[in-house]
Copies of this chain bind each other. A is one copy, B any other.
Amino acid sequence: GSDLIATEREKSQISVDKLSNFLFTKEALERQDRILAILKSEEVFDKSQNYFHGRVDRFKVALARAKRLRQLQVKHNWNADDYNVANELISEPGPYGLHSSMYLTTLRGQGTPEQQKLFLEPAENYEHIGCYAQTELGHGSNVRGLETTATWDPQDKTFILHSPHLTSAKWWIGSLGRTANHAVVMAQLIINGKKYGPHPFVCQIRDMKTHEPLEGVYVGDIGPKFGYNTMDNGFLLLNHVKIPHVNMLARFSRVDPETSKYVHPSSPSLIYGTLTWVRSTIVLQSGGVLARGVTIATRYAAVRRQFQDRDAPSGTLGENQVLNYTMVQFRLLPLLAATFALHFTGKAMMALYQENQKKMQLDAERISNTARGAGPEETHSGSDLLADLHATSCGLKALGSTTAAEGLEVCRRACGGHGYSSFSGIGSWYADYLPTTTWEGDNYMLTQQVARYLLKSARAVLKGKAPNNDTTKIFTTFLQKQDMGAAHDILGSDSDLVAAFAWRTSFLTFEALKHRDAEKNSWNSLLVDFWRLSTAHSQYLVVKNFYEALQSESLQRELDPVTIDVLHKLFRLYALTTLEKEASEFYSSAAVTVRQIQLARTKTVMKLLEEVRPHALRLVDAWHFSDWQLDSSLGRKDGKVYEDLFYRASQLNPLNGLTIDPYPDSGVLIKNDESAKFKSKL
């Protein structure tokens, strides 16, 4: 193992450090190393029994870790970024997960100053431990359909929170099952018998001392899941629970306690903004998530040898590294390319988002400086861009998380039998990641939002609106050239390759528009078209962002020509394999010819695989995962795959403490149980 992997690394001249620095910045990497050293020195973070524990033990350990992590945060004065880095290194969801993310974020974003004092401060000190309770047994995607009610009682100026049906039980709520003592509960606001839609309420659910549920609160963990078992996702039924007026988060809308009047939200686009931010984060992370699987599988494929090459000259010694088989390359290397593509796309989106936020902030300040209240239209000045960014983030969240989730399983399977062992480190990582395809907008549902936006933009362009963002620009170009046809030189020119993707999106958009507006087809009958359209558009964006990253001045400055050349090949590999997979849309839109795709398939892609292959190991090294983080026998940096598999199986595995009686007629099951020897102490 070690020799092979060392030889592999010598095959390439890529500067791993420079590339890592370019991807993450030197500061971030140093921070990571610093925090890693701290975590490794703490016994509670020892991972060696993770794969062996059952649900209850995993949860207990995760709780101990969450507590210790919080202590370390205080001790080392870690900021939110430091804390996130630590969590990424630990790589398991923890019981404080929703407290430190959604609960705090919601209080910060939607609480008034008074409420922040009342709720945010104790939450930041971990006296209150909270969660975000939106989804119910009966409703997830359709938030407006939530059934929990918050009825305003003008008499004593309270809200009564209530779960009228079984299906209105809050469900899936992270950190609620065993850990939280507070919850932000999304409930239908009712004033005087009139419904005002879902609003957020802070509700204490457990006693601060005994941690037992308060009266009228029925709460618990929802049970084991495909993954995410270190987290206590919970259920919650509320039986006429009274909360004070101040517990309705009132930054955007509120009930006037004196008049019982509902005061309407002033700026919904800010909430809109949070969603966009969260989704952009998912896009950025999807690259890194996938990169873990690709790192493990690529390293293993360099160590694993199986069969001699069929055409090898007789007398050849030794078997072939499976990474040399084109079939393995074809499965892994486009995913390697995708890790970079998604990373650059995520970074670009975050930058765009921040730029836009700043602009909106400035606008807001300018308006408030005029010393009068802002009309609603004025706070929307960045909103055209925000709408584009919002739609983009929906589509890319869906594409990125689907690519990462499905790619991880491709990586696992590429490892053959050993990929199925928990020690591969891919399976549990995949299982924990999977819900990302469902939460923050189910990936299929999101595609409807993208389509709606694209149709709207297309209508505007048809009406002659001048292009003011990328989407309207590519549509305009398409309309201008549509009749002349497109002659995209996808094999010769990178910008043409990008243009071919833009062309396909535009074509599909105007097709869909025809179906909807001219042919008056029902929305439901077009959902599959919309899904294809959203996918097409998102693929275009990824290809475009990868392309632009390659042109960027910082890349040209920070990286050496060898590395830039390989990244450029990865760009082409990502674009061409995507194009090939979706070939029929590219033909039928006349973005490219059948002949071009055939060439791409049989020649160009195969050539790119061959050219990228020698650099594969260094490219995954640049993702800078430590062995501790990966916790994988197959993905060990030193290639000692077999030694590590053997060590874990024979030395760490509690099942080997059991001596059983194997005979069917014997009533004895276990003759001797020494499995406790293997159990780590809590």
Contact = CB atoms under 8 A, between A and B. Distances in A.
A179 B221 contact: no
Contacts of A167: 642
Nearest to A528: B330
A665 to B, nearest CB: 7
A328 to B, nearest CB: 8
Interface stretch (A60-68, A266-274, A357-365, A555-563): A60-68
A598 interface: yes
Interface string A127-142: 1010000010111111
Interface string A414-432: 0011011111000110010
A606 B530 CA distance: 14
Contacts of A437: 413
A132 to B, nearest CB: 14
Nearest to A1: B167
Contact of A664 (B70, B180, B324): B70
A439 B530 CA distance: 38
Given A56-B675, A522-B311, A326 B528 contact: yes
Interface stretch (A275-283, A378-386, A654-662): A654-662
Interface string A19-40: 0000000000000000000000
A362 B529 CA distance: 57
A172 B417 contact: yes
A465 interface: no
Interface stretch (A150-158, A183-191, A253-261, A643-651): A643-651
Contact of A658 (B56, B419, B434): B56
Interface string A502-538: 0000000000000100000011111111110000000
Given A327-B528, A421-B222, A663-B127, A53 B54 contact: yes
A310 interface: yes
Interface stretch (A482-490, A567-575, A580-588): A580-588
A223 interface: yes
A427 B434 CA distance: 11
Given A142-B319, A524-B326, A658-B178, A439 B417 contact: yes
A317 interface: no
Contacts of A311: 522-524
Contact of A306 (B141, B423, B669): B141
Contacts of A305: 138
A584 B597 contact: yes
B655 A59 contact: yes
Instruction: Report copies per complex.
Output: 2
Contact of A587 (B417, B434, B580, B587): B587
A220 B649 contact: yes
A189 B310 CA distance: 24
A417 B435 contact: yes
A310 B523 contact: yes
Contacts of A628: none
Contacts of A137: 642, 645-646
Interface stretch (A9-17, A224-232, A540-548): A224-232
Contacts of A52: 55, 223-224
A371 interface: no
A659 to B, nearest CB: 6
A309 B142 contact: no
A634 B409 CA distance: 24
Contacts of A420: 225-228, 434-435, 438
Nearest to A586: B584
B140 A660 contact: no
A604 interface: no
Given A71-B665, A307-B142, A311-B524, A211 B416 contact: no
Nearest to A235: B649
B427 A226 contact: yes
Interface in A40-57: 51-57
B71 A655 contact: no
A54 B51 contact: no
A316 to B, nearest CB: 13
Contacts of A588: 594, 597-598
A109 interface: no
A660 B587 contact: no
Given A142-B306, A178-B658, 6 more contacts: A220-B656, A221-B649, A310-B523, A326-B524, A416-B438, A417-B435
